[in-house]
Chains A and B, each alone.
Chain A
Amino acid sequence: MNEQQIKDAFTYGAGEITASDELWARIEREAAARRPAPWRKVWLAAAGLVLALCLSLAASPAVRAAAGTLVHLFTTVWQGQVGGTDASVRWADVNQREALEASGMQFFEYQETLVASPEEAKARVGFRPVLADHPEASLEALFVQSIGGDMFRVAGARYRIGGKLFHVGTSAMYARLQDGTLRFLPFTTLETTFVIGPDRAPTGTRTVELASGVEAMCIDFKQGADTWCGWLYEGLQVHVTGPDAALVVELARSAVR
């Protein structure tokens, strides 16, 4: 009479159901239907070449400055679109989470859908993150949270760079309108854990002024010789320095499309 009781209860709850005999045949058919056709691989390779070219262009200081302007423009436009929101943000280091939970603080729980491929992610949320400073980075997974109806939340992306995995938190929400376009939505409340890789430790926070009267909280991360910076701005957690710069650009483009 101990743990066995819980085991027995689950076994009882699961009942005696079994998968039907046709299940394997259905899986085979479905997998075959979804497997990319060879011509699609050619298209992807061509797109990869174009992307690599864009990334190399983006490495130039002039293009970077333009990207920074675009980000600022985006934040301004976004603020205009959603003006009047009272977004509030709370941030906590993952290492503080348990202690904060014990004190009664509630955390937003990531309930991500792990999409099988970047292509599927693109199809579902309409943007593709890239890492400008690391063209060798491969997008391992994109976490997309379905929040009901045709609304999705991009919860994070996982990249592999030089054998290491990086988990980048991206808080953005989209709604698919009736005309098929994506509308960028604000968070009215966001309680999120800033997800970081195992070898990225927050080194502090500071509030900075992006432009006249516009403030954002910057969370510095130290990784090797590089300092990364994650920004929390009006409920939108974005990354504007370090290897995530292009991600913000992509978010910005999605928002103004």
Chain B
Amino acid sequence: MDEATWIRRAQAGDKAGFAALFEQHRTRAIRTAYLMTQDRHLAEDLTQEAFVRAYLAIRKCDPARPFAPWLMRILINLCRTAMQRRGRQMVVAALPDEGASDRGYADAEDRVQVWGALQRLEPVHREVLMLRYYHDFADAEIAEALDIPVGTVKSRLFHARRHLERHLAPEAGAHPLSKEVLS
């Protein structure tokens, strides 16, 4: 069964329809919240709240469009609000445990460097990169998730890449990102 059918079923009051949407998006949602807050418990609370709000407002979701950007819009706004309440715009977290995420990367050092640089970005820049590269959203989907015009998405992506490049530059005399990717 496709996502549009699940959305329509949820809109008709079928709990199983929304449960299917939850199952499909739960992991990506909590990891998104974790990326934004770097707090595991807060991420779970915010994910719960986002799904509750999505559940109650499911009639406003357009079945003709992907569910993820709509859900992400709710979740990202919740994360922003939570971070504002905590009085910090940016979290610099401890690096994840390498042993817990042993996925056979050829160059773990690159991964750590780029993640460190991403954490030094402004939240608006990190968000737009997260939606593009972690979620593989198209420009229009990012625009929907962030409630901004597509033109602004392109502009933010451009500036985000440029800032990322700057953050990588000092340690990346030979860092491939700074020369090959971020143009």
Contacts and interface: CB of A to CB of B under 8 A. Distances in A.
Interface of A: 1-3, 5-20, 23-24, 26-28, 30-31, 34-35, 94, 97-98, 101, 109-114, 116-117, 140-141, 146-148
15 contacts: A1-B180, A2-B180, A8-B111, A9-B115, A9-B118, A12-B96, A12-B101, A15-B34, A23-B47, A27-B52, A109-B124, A110-B147, A113-B81, A114-B73, A148-B85
B114 A31 contact: no
Interface string B6-40: 00000000010001001000110111101100001
B142 interface: no
Interface size class of B (residues with CB under 8 A): 35 or more
Contacts of A97: 152
B27 A30 contact: no
B155 A101 contact: yes
B143 interface: no
Contacts of B51: 23, 27
A11 B134 contact: yes
Contact of A31 (B56, B60, B124, B180): B56
Given A6-B133, A18-B27, 16 more contacts: A1-B181, A8-B105, A10-B35, A10-B118, A11-B103, A13-B119, A19-B26, A19-B30, A24-B19, A27-B52, A31-B56, A94-B149, A98-B151, A111-B84, A112-B147, A114-B147
B74 interface: yes
Contacts of B31: 14-15, 17
Contacts of B177: 1-2, 5-6
A19 B84 contact: no
B35 A13 contact: yes
A17 B147 contact: no
Contacts of B176: 1-2, 5
Given A23-B48, A27-B51, A30-B52, A12 B124 contact: no
A111 B77 contact: yes
Contacts of A7: 133-134
Contacts of B180: 1-2
A98 B84 CA distance: 26
A13 B110 contact: no
Nearest to A143: B147
Given A8-B105, A9-B115, A27-B52, A15 B84 contact: no
Contact of A2 (B22, B30, B101, B181): B181
A111 B96 contact: no
B118 to A, nearest CB: 6
Contacts of A113: 77-78, 81
Interface string B129-172: 11001100000000000010101100100000000100000000
A224 B132 CA distance: 37
A98 B150 CA distance: 11
Contacts of B85: 146, 148
A7 B177 CA distance: 12
B34 A148 contact: no
Contacts of A5: 110-111, 114, 176-177, 181
Contacts of B110: 1, 5, 8
Interface string B99-112: 01101010000111
A34 B52 contact: yes
A10 B132 CA distance: 11
Contacts of B43: 17
Nearest to B32: A14
Given A14-B34, A16-B100, A101-B155, A6 B52 contact: no
B83 to A, nearest CB: 10
B1 interface: no
Contact of B55 (A27, A109, A140, A147): A27
